[in-house]
Amino acid sequence: MARRLLLGFLLGATLWGASASARADDDTLKAARKLAEMNGMTAIMTAQAESLVGFVRAAITQANPRQGTEIEDVIEQFVAPTVQKNTPALLDATTQLYAAAFTREEIAQMIAFYETPVGQKIIKTQSQLQQSVVAAGVDWGKRVLSEMGPELKKKLDERSLNPPPGL
């Protein structure tokens, strides 16, 4: 299920980005690429690539328990290089999305902002801040699940539904 959602998201973003590319002029695309490169998107894309490799590793490991060395060989020799090779396409898609969402003038204003001290601070702190926000979200999710777990299990049992593993 998660694999289908991820593939659907990536395909949708690529297709939407491709249609956006047809509408944006070259100057807007160049400005959008500059914005994507300077505002920390490359760090985010690197994190997404690492996450994809981790997702594939976990899925293969789940399907093949106790095969760690063989799995790591496949990850290091095929999965990671394939993801790395395709990461520039994510920058292209992001560029196209920016060009579709903003005018050239708006992109120029954002670039000008990111060149200010506050903009530079955002660029420098954005990745760590996003990681912290994600971690806070995971902690929050654990607390909510812990709070509702016993009652949810009871409600599922009442309907003869199986609880997910770990509940």
When pLDDT is averaged across residues 61-78 and rounded to a whole number, the result is: 91
When pLDDT is averaged across residues 95-118 and rounded to a whole number, the result is: 95
Confidence at residue 16, expressed as pLDDT on a 0 to 100 scale: 52
- pLDDT tens string 125-136: 988 898 899 899
Amino acid, single-letter form, for residue 91: L
3-state secondary structure of 162: coil
Confidence at residue 10, expressed as pLDDT on a 0 to 100 scale: 52
Give the start-to-end residue ranges of the domains of the chain: 2-103, 116-167
CB atoms within 10 A of CB 160: 6
Confidence at residue 5, expressed as pLDDT on a 0 to 100 scale: 43
- pLDDT tens string 3-54: 554 445 554 555 555 454 456 899 999 999 999 999 888 888 888 999 999 9
Closest CA to 112 of 34, 30, 43: 34
Q: DSSP letter string over 60-129?
A: HHHHSTT-HHHHHHHIIIIIHHHHHHHHHHHHHHHHHHHHHHS-HHHHHHHHHHHTSHHHHHHHHHHHHH
Q: Encode burial over 21-48: b for 16+ CB neighbours within 10 A, e otherwise.
A: beebeeebbebbbbbbebbbbbebbeee
Closest CA to 56 of 103, 9, 2, 129: 2
Confidence at residue 112, expressed as pLDDT on a 0 to 100 scale: 97
pLDDT greater at residue 163 or residue 2? 163
- pLDDT tens string 152-164: 999 999 999 888 8
3-state secondary structure of 151: helix
Amino acid, single-letter form, for residue 101: A
Q: How far apart are CA 149 and CA 97, in angstroms?
A: 40
Question: Which percentage of the chain shows pLDDT scores above 90?
Answer: 57
When pLDDT is averaged across residues 134-148 and rounded to a whole number, the result is: 92
